[in-house]
Amino acid sequence: MANVKIDPKLLETLVCPQTRSTLSYDAEKQELVSKAAGLAFPIRNGIPVMLIDEARQIDI
């Protein structure tokens, strides 16, 4: 899987759909991480999938 770079302006705009908190970008795992919710949202084909049902639980 090729790493896709996320536009910093997009990252400033996106928020966690559950908590409305900011997200951090994990380039290695290709995920947007919400530490507040303990969720990681996948990025597929360069598109963030911001569905809670598609997110995975993370240890915070």
User: What is the separation of C-alpha 18 from the centre of its chain, rounded to a whole number of angstroms?
Assistant: 12
Our CA angle for 52, 53, 54, nearest 5°, is: 90
pLDDT in tens, 2-43: 677 788 898 889 999 999 999 999 999 999 999 999 999 999
Spans of all domains in the chain: 8-57
Q: Per DSSP, what are the bridge partners of residue 44?
A: 47
Rounded to two decimals, what is the model's pTM? Answer: 0.88
CATH fold of 8-57: N-terminal domain of TfIIb (2.20.25)
Task: Give CA–CA dist 30/32, Å, rounded.
Answer: 7
